[in-house]
Chain A
Amino acid sequence: MNQTPTHPSNRRHTLSWVLLEFFGSMNLAITLLVLVAVASVIGTVLQQNQPYPDYVFKFGPFWFEVFRWLGLYDVYGASWFIGILAFLILSTSVCLYRQVPRMLRDMIRFRTNIQPHSLRGFHQHVEWQVVDHDLDATQDAVTEVLQKRGYRWRARTVGDHRVVAAMKGRYNRLGYLFTHAAVVLIGVGGLLDGNLWLKLKEWHGEVVLETHDLAVRDIPPASRLAPGALPAFRGNVMIPEGTAASFVFVRARNGFVLQELPFAIELKDFQVAYHDTGQPKSFLSQVLIHDREKLGDHPLEATIRVNHPFTYRGYSIYQSDFGDGGSVLDLRAWPLTVASLKPTEIEAKVGGSLKVARPGGTLILELSDFRLFNLLPESDAQPGERKFRNFGPSFGFKLRDEGGQAWEYFNYMAPVKLEDRWFFISGMRIQPSAPFTYLHIPADPNNSPERFLRFNARLHDADWLRTWMANFAPAANEDSNLRHDLERVRVSLVELFAQGGSAAVLERAKAVVPADRLQEASALYLNILRDTLAQVFIEVLREEGIDVAQGVGEREEAFFNDALSALSALPAYASPFYLQLASFRQVEASGLQVTRSDGVAVVYTGFAMLIMGVFIMFYTSHRRLWAWLAVEKGATRLLLAGTGNRHQTEFAHEFAILRAMLEQRLGTAEAERSTTTPSSAVPQAY
């Protein structure tokens, strides 16, 4: 119905016509919509922007490369995705370009050149022979009714007949314009605020992604951007309390660039508040903005909270993370693999590293983290229930050998109660993506790991073991040779156990005993071992000053069993010492996100237009009515027809009202209705 007469011309086959036709086609638009949806699904199903080794681990080296090449680790930043968005914008723009003139015309033109046969083709039409009224009077009646119903109209006389063309709600056409222009605006604004600029700079070779974890001063100039170099970016920075930063890291793919800021942010104080249940209540950073150029010597004070960012010179600063800013830890390194019991005292800073000697060379100790609170779900909590327990302070560190291999550890400061007994817990892992496995060192009555450590030290002290064994003599057998042999076996079993746990003992049994007697012999070995360990343990207790004349109590026995489990796990623990946190001075760091998005005004304009457009489009309707009048056989022939571009049922209702009004106005008796089209069964809506 909106078709304007097409001019038969050879324009049809020109290139520009073909391009317009292609880009403006609805099918292309819907295809693109579906493509964006599918790409978005991929981006949500495959976790984005993870460290690359994780992907290698997950997919294997071959598929890792394929997916990397396809840009699947950063779908929304991939060139092809940006390309699809650009196409969608282009397609919608072309669509607008082609539709808008027609729609504007449609809003203005009344279309008085319509023919009766096309009117009879409308779903809604009705005809009368009006006996009493002449042409003018009928027309008056029609226009009066139209006007009362809020229509605007134009009349035209063509030869022997007249046409009254009317319409209402023509602003519905603006709905299309608003929504589609909004799509273009939001798309363009979004692209401007995306990572397009960084991509362009990379293509031009103006900047290179840095993929190594470097200290700020070591980042090469090629990976640094001057203030304002990126018109839009999102960067992050961790600022320890009492220090300032004038840059952020902008992450991209598996690396980052350093974007300098035209001002510095100093963190005065970072505060976390907690609810009684232990859940965090608020994160808050008190900062000072230093900007010599704009502020001189008077820094600006600001408070930044979650949901309450602070904007300065077009840069918005958000509270996004927190961490350690270099807490100072007093550590006690208890040796685990030698006979000595003297701990080494270490003072170290989180974020720093130091060399530690060990029997076969040196290890690098890197302190990576300190946390004041550790809220973990209560072990008896139902799934879904939120019952938390605070496990107290903890710290994380890595031990790196000369080959670069690193073991990662995570120790709690205070003992933790599990099944009514107390343990010092230390987690260890080799793969960064693997879960921690935990070592449980039983705590002694003084709440210290000392008893266990002394026990362990004794087991590593072959000399002591031998002397003790010789003097200590619950001798069941007087034969000194046999007794001597047994002592040797005992000492070597303990040594084996201390080096490699029960596994090493069984291994030895396998090596020296024929297969058919293996089971029996292993059991015997373990029995002797356990018996010996128990006696050493009793000796350790005695040294502590505990009276063991009446045997050991239940608590000591439980301790012994826990100690055996821990000893068994020690070889895999792989650390030459147990690091105990003696005291600390916490320094917090606040993770701030700094963004710049100049496209935001364009996008928000688009938002406003989109909302208006959608409502106009759905909840208004462009309605057209025509009355065609002519004198026929002494009466006036009146043909009324109409259409609405939305809500056919409502229009049917409207048409019925108009018809009834006209019949009343013209006098039903005189107006002889000839045809009418039944309309839908639905009574009334909206």
Chain B
Amino acid sequence: MAVTVTRETMLESWEQPSFWQRLTIRDGLWALLVMAGSIQLWWLYREYMDGYEIAIQAGSTLALIAWGWYWKPARLFTLAVAALAVLALWRYGTDYSLRQSDFWLKYFLESQVAFMWMSALYVLATVTYFVALFSRSEFIGKTATALTWIATVMGLSGLLVRWRESYLLGTDIGHIPVSNLYEVFILFALMTALLYLFYEDRYRTRAMGGFALLAISGAVAFLLWYAFDREAHHIQPLIPALQSYWMKIHVPANFIGYGAFALAAMLGIAYLLRSGVEAHWPNSLLARVLPPLELLDDVMYKAIALGFAAFTIATILGALWAAEAWGGYWSWDPKETWALIVWLNYAAWLHLRLTKGWRGTPMAWWAVIGLFVTLFAFLGVNMFLSGLHSYGSL
């Protein structure tokens, strides 16, 4: 199939306008809206912020504007999340106990409830994506996408609400909800979902959806066990080592990496499945409906490259933080060391692909194995090893 270039894109491309010329009125409005919201937030919460945190907020504001310019669906998403979070904050006022009596909080907005919605919707979306894959129904596919979007909105607004809730518990308890295993698992699910949705939109295909969402459903299963069996969902005050603005950037950067690596691994599984099915049953339904190999290989590479870039930043931020908290930028703490192992692993993967031109099955296997290395860094270290990262254990 040849690359299709419509007359419009061609003419649009004829004069390659500069980045700024390509921005529309809507883009301008978006920027204004985000800035206004950000300033409002700053005004409300400025007493809790130090200089670094104001800088982080300014940076995040610019990043959010750029994100909305670069990927349009991000805007509606952001607005929906903001709307829910604002509604929750308004319902709460300053009384945390309202979570048990206020209708909106009790059934939709309280962070714990929002996470339950998120969990249910992600699992539903996973099933729906697979149904769409086999039935080849456009409508069911769209439903799956919508479910994923809504789940992500619920999850992210839940995190924002939880942030506020922690302050309602006590101003000296308040902190960004990326401080323990329970909270970062939610972050992990959200990052993976957003990355997936981005590739779904850019590649205009839903064939990868079931696989990507399978990783998220796995995270949801863990989350539910962790909450119900281990009661890990309670908001806890921060230990002194975590009381730092670095946490606000180090942790999210890490989870872009983890999410991207998880996505790559799931695509690796789809790749191995498809190539196996093609070899043995080339005429089967499965061989026809599974995502094409070329697509999987390409997205797998993109995800790993993005994950590697994010993980590089995260590890460096971690080192800078360690230089402030632990007395040195590198202490060979188990978590730190495993981050290095993950990084080296993907560096080797990228080398082989880019300089030796490795493709296909071996790289797919490697991406899958890479997930286990990543999972060990993420979970195994907390479970089996002890160290300075007092981040929560099982």
Q: Which residues on A are within 8 Å of B, measured CB to CB? A: 26, 29-30, 33-34, 36-37, 40-41, 43-45, 47-48, 75-76, 148-150, 190, 193, 234, 275-277, 279-283, 305-309, 316, 318, 320, 382-386, 593, 595, 597, 600, 603-604, 607, 610-611, 614-615, 618, 646, 649, 652-653, 655-657, 660-661, 664, 676, 678-686
Contacts and interface: CB of A to CB of B under 8 A. Distances in A.
A40 B337 contact: yes
A183 to B, nearest CB: 9
A34 B343 CA distance: 11
Interface of B: 1-5, 9-10, 13-16, 170, 172-173, 202-204, 226, 229-232, 234, 236-237, 239-241, 243-244, 292, 294-295, 298, 302, 305-306, 308-309, 312-313, 316, 319-320, 323-330, 332, 334, 337-338, 340-341, 344-345, 347-348, 351-352, 354-356, 381, 384-387, 394
A150 B16 contact: yes
Contacts of B356: 26
Contacts of B344: 33-34, 36-37
Contact of A305 (B3, B232, B240, B355): B240
8 contacts: A305-B240, A307-B324, A320-B327, A385-B230, A652-B3, A661-B13, A678-B2, A685-B203
Contact of A47 (B338, B351, B386): B386
A397 B172 CA distance: 36
- Residue with the highest number of chain B CB atoms closer than 10 Å, among A382, A384, A593, A611: A384
Nearest to B385: A44
Contact of B14 (A148, A193, A656, A678): A148
Nearest to A183: B347
Given A30-B351, A307-B241, A611 B316 contact: yes
Contacts of A29: 351
Contacts of A307: 240-241, 243-244, 324-325
Contacts of A309: 324, 327
Given A309-B324, A385-B234, A614-B309, 5 more contacts: A193-B328, A280-B240, A611-B313, A649-B298, A657-B10
Contacts of A595: 327-328
Q: Which 3 pairs across A and B sit closest by C-beta, in order of nearness?
A: A384-B230, A306-B240, A44-B334
A41 B334 CA distance: 9
Contacts of A653: 3, 5
Contacts of B340: 36-37, 40
A158 B204 CA distance: 46
Given A279-B237, A320-B327, A682 B298 contact: yes
Contacts of A604: 320
Contacts of B386: 47
Given A306-B325, A615-B309, A660-B10, A682 B294 contact: yes
Contacts of B204: 683-684
A26 B351 contact: yes
Nearest to A189: B329
B9 A657 contact: yes
Contact of A275 (B237, B327, B387): B237
A353 B175 CA distance: 45
B344 to A, nearest CB: 5
A382 B239 contact: no
B330 A190 contact: yes
Contacts of A600: 323, 329
A649 B298 CA distance: 8
Contact of A281 (B15, B232, B240, B385): B240
A678 B202 CA distance: 21
A664 B327 CA distance: 64
Nearest to A603: B329
Contacts of A30: 348, 351-352
A47 B202 CA distance: 46
Contact of B231 (A76, A382, A597, A660): A382
A234 B341 contact: no
A614 B343 CA distance: 12
Contacts of B244: 307
Contacts of A33: 344, 347-348
Given A306-B243, A385-B234, A618 B16 contact: no
Contacts of A657: 5, 9-10, 13
Nearest to A276: B170
A41 B341 contact: yes
A607 B319 contact: yes
A495 to B, nearest CB: 48
Contacts of A44: 334, 337-338, 381, 385, 387
A281 B240 CA distance: 6
A653 B2 CA distance: 10
A100 to B, nearest CB: 15
Given A657-B5, A657-B13, A384 B294 contact: no
B14 A685 contact: no
A661 B10 contact: yes
A607 B316 contact: yes
A190 to B, nearest CB: 6
Nearest to A648: B298
B369 to A, nearest CB: 12
A45 B383 CA distance: 12
A187 to B, nearest CB: 11
Contacts of B341: 37, 40-41
Nearest to A686: B202
A149 B309 CA distance: 28
Contacts of A275: 172-173, 237
Contact of A681 (B14, B237, B292, B306): B292
B302 A685 contact: yes
Contacts of B10: 657, 660-661, 664
Contact of B3 (A37, A611, A683): A683
B160 to A, nearest CB: 23
Nearest to A659: B5
Nearest to A382: B231
B316 A318 contact: no
Contacts of B234: 385-386
A277 B234 CA distance: 13
